[in-house]
Structure 1
């Protein structure tokens, strides 16, 4: 009887150990699932960070996100990850090809300028220095290539006019280049250098001085874009390396997981076999002494098998913890990098749509808003009006009191204009001394009333330059969108024609225009 109780106690202990093993296994699986979910979320965030670089890459990353969201196995994830890596390499190659094309155009244009007979010695020296710089530092970022080519082509057109161009033509060239500079999006020292160049272009320059400034501008762009290229390439490289590390670690984990499952399954079978033999011995036992010996033998085998199973699980747990720590460290670092680039992109996007002087939306922002309002008009048929404003005799302020006075004037009028219209109205600086106001859901009569109030406020601003009181006025042209097949671009031209009529007939007035269909 005592022997039977002892056997039952041992069986109870064995059952308890089995339950503990099952609970330990479940805890390990829960931890594995939690960490896998974390890795999947991080990979999804990384894929979003790469969005917009290339359509094929976007498609591959979309498939990768879908598989991660469905908790797909490595047999499905591996080919998509391989495809993503291939597209990342393709994007890098495309950057290099665009770099090569832009570099060739730059080099050819600069060589052409060097061959012009009327170049000054200093300008020729500067051009030669730019060529040497172009040979050692290739410019890359595709976003800047069209603008660089435009500037270089402009320099080529300017070259034929170096000696004979009149002063008015030179000033027109300066305004063109100033508008181009406003489209550049740089930070740090490059941005400061561009601001210095912009200030020089606001002054009076002869053609030789203008060419020297343009050469300096090209050098600044080359240097700035080179820095941007290096930053973007480093980011792409980190993405590729991180995906490679993650894929390699996951592959290793899957392989070791399969090995573990195989060994664990074998041990489970041994445990089951030992239990079956123990049960068989209990059922078939005829003598207590024989049963005691057989049970002791079976328990010993069970104990050894359990020790092997626990050791296997402990090894698996330690390996998983090491793998988790390694990936966590890598992904945490890269998450910080992704956050940094997201912030940088957001800042660049904001700057690209804002006029740096007046802090109003710029021409690019206006074009985006016009597309939105045009689509809304087609859906709702609600009236849309647009006004073009121009500061009267603004050139006199620059000529008589300096460009700093002109800049201050633009800032004050921009602020007053923004306050005078409704909050829903869109006010932007179009360029130079021109402003544009877009009036959503507003007929032309209401837009006129708001602008009359704005013009009155502007007339009453007490401008004072060098102890001299100045009254500043604006001329305005307004038009209303009336036909579904009409675009806001054509409506803008109509309002601009009305502005021209206001300036031609005496300034300081508002002229209404009928919308002209395309």
Structure 2
């Protein structure tokens, strides 16, 4: 094998090793046993690749992929079973009203439907369950007068409820509107989604609201089942490619062994020819006869060398074809995984972004705040929360139209993105409300920081169709206390916002 071809083979082998390492990193976390074997495989391919050991690891990974086809469905079944236990526990809570029990029963009904999905399904199911959980959480709050009055009027067994507390109704409606916004962007031609969106904007009664919850949940399940199907196809492609590569590695190894054996035999034949030539020289007395024998032996050796070169070139071409085929298969799989990875990223961005203002939405906040609390507890740094409510937003809608209201929210969101610091996170909570998380913000500087944001917002030179529109907002804020939950902190900030509204709006009020 000449040096140029050897370098080409080395290059292809290095590219193959790097691609397998990238693929193993991409699929990390799918299965513990596969993770462990992929780490071993990456070790064999790191530095100077050891293809003999890598072949063994590839075989093990392939076997695990074939055997682990039911791993994700089993995890889904286990998670659904745990969710059902939680819902049943909610139904059995002391003090839980019949309303809450009925909501939990409906959620249990949705979980009894056939389910096949990945993490997105669990996320939506937990969000659906939180609709009932929020109501239970509020039943523990002594300051929630509206809910306590409602809870005290216990419904009799077998009786249906006529109306939900306004606060719970508003939260459920907002959650549904955000989910509908997400999926209507994915399917703008879906008439069911558009009709639900229109009905929520106009207002529906409590029975229709709960029926809408079930419709949305069924839609989510259907969508996530399609996502699961796509994921399964990708995993199957990965399995098939690994199987083919494993087979071709066997063929490459077998061909290399045959080449080695053939070259060894050819070397032995040349040695025999040289031995015969030596014997002829030792035994020969006639110079002409010796020359004739020498020519014959040399011709045989030349023919053997030519045959060896021709055979080597053919074997080399077969080996190159195998390596090129493996490379093409892996490149194809890489393109598919990159496309799927991009799709997942776009889906996540869609789910966690408010479609109107392009800032994170409530789902994004709910995830962010839990991480922020954990980080604050770990680093022992303060964490603050502010709720921002646009003043007299209904008047803007009534006076200038909903297009002006939408544009107002977009201007406010853009202003927040520009003026907030790297340690601050903003999300649209719903309607005309935004929430701001402030990492490592000391309480003694919280008022001044929010006051600066409020003043800059009130000075925005905003016009709608050449008509000046004055934008102001009220701020309610608090700093997280030790072991305080996200819901508890939000309620304190919301109470402070209520005070800010009562004090004339366009001001900052901190929770005591």
For this structure pair, what is the TM-score category when the shorter chain's length is used for normalisation? 0.7 to 0.9
Post-superposition offset of 1:183: 10
**Worse-superposed segment, 171-180 or 355-364:** 171-180
Task: Give aligned pairs, total.
Answer: 463
Indicate the SS of the match to 1:437.
strand
Q: 1: CA distance between counterparts of 2:441 and 2:83?
A: 48
1:162/1:207 contact within 8 Å kept = no
- Residue 204 of structure 2 aligns with which residue? 205
Q: 2: CA distance between counterparts of 1:211 and 1:488?
A: 28
**Any unmatched runs of 5+ in structure 2?**
88-105, 137-157
User: Cα deviations across residues 295-321 of structure 1 (Å, max 9, x unaligned)?
Assistant: 123213212322331232022022113
Q: CA, structure 1 residues 413+148, in 2 after alignment: closer, same or farther (shift >3 Å)?
A: same
- Residue 188 of structure 1 aligns with which residue? 186
1:103/1:139 contact within 8 Å kept = no
User: Cα deviations across residues 371-400 of structure 1 (Å, max 9, x unaligned)?
Assistant: 68637954xx7x765533233455676789
Structure 2 residue 12 is the aligned partner of structure 1 residue 35: yes
1:190/1:220 contact within 8 Å kept = no
1:425/1:437 contact within 8 Å kept = no
**Any unmatched runs of 5+ in structure 1?**
1-23, 110-126
- Residue 338 of structure 1 aligns with which residue? 337
1:424/1:440 contact within 8 Å kept = no
Structure 2 residue 222 is the aligned partner of structure 1 residue 223: yes
Q: CA, structure 1 residues 207+512, in 2 after alignment: closer, same or farther (shift >3 Å)?
A: closer
Structure 2 residue 292 is the aligned partner of structure 1 residue 290: no
TM-score, L = length of structure 1: 0.73
State which of 24, 36, 43 in structure 2 corresponds to 1:66.
43
Structure 2 residue 212 is the aligned partner of structure 1 residue 235: no
Larger Rg: 1
- Residue 354 of structure 1 aligns with which residue? 353
Post-superposition offset of 1:169: 6.8
Post-superposition offset of 1:249: 0.6
1:155/1:211 contact within 8 Å kept = no
Cα RMSD for the two superposed structures: 4.5
Q: CA, structure 1 residues 478+213, in 2 after alignment: closer, same or farther (shift >3 Å)?
A: closer
**Worse-superposed segment, 440-449 or 345-354:** 440-449
Post-superposition offset of 1:254: 0.6
Q: CA, structure 1 residues 364+286, in 2 after alignment: closer, same or farther (shift >3 Å)?
A: farther
- Residue 510 of structure 1 aligns with which residue? 508
Post-superposition offset of 1:231: 0.9
Post-superposition offset of 1:144: 0.9
Q: 1: CA distance between counterparts of 2:184 and 2:41?
A: 33
- Residue 85 of structure 1 aligns with which residue? 62
Q: 1: CA distance between counterparts of 2:496 and 2:373?
A: 22
Q: 2: CA distance between counterparts of 1:174 and 1:375?
A: 30
Q: 2: CA distance between counterparts of 1:401 and 1:162?
A: 42
Structure 2 residue 299 is the aligned partner of structure 1 residue 322: no
Q: 2: CA distance between counterparts of 1:424 and 1:391?
A: 23
TM-score, L = length of structure 2: 0.73
Post-superposition offset of 1:233: 0.8
1:444/1:478 contact within 8 Å kept = no
Q: 1: CA distance between counterparts of 2:72 and 2:398?
A: 45
**Worse-superposed segment, 397-406 or 26-35:** 397-406
Post-superposition offset of 1:243: 0.4
Q: 2: CA distance between counterparts of 1:40 and 1:296?
A: 50
User: Cα deviations across residues 272-304 of structure 1 (Å, max 9, x unaligned)?
Assistant: 332344355446654312321331232132123
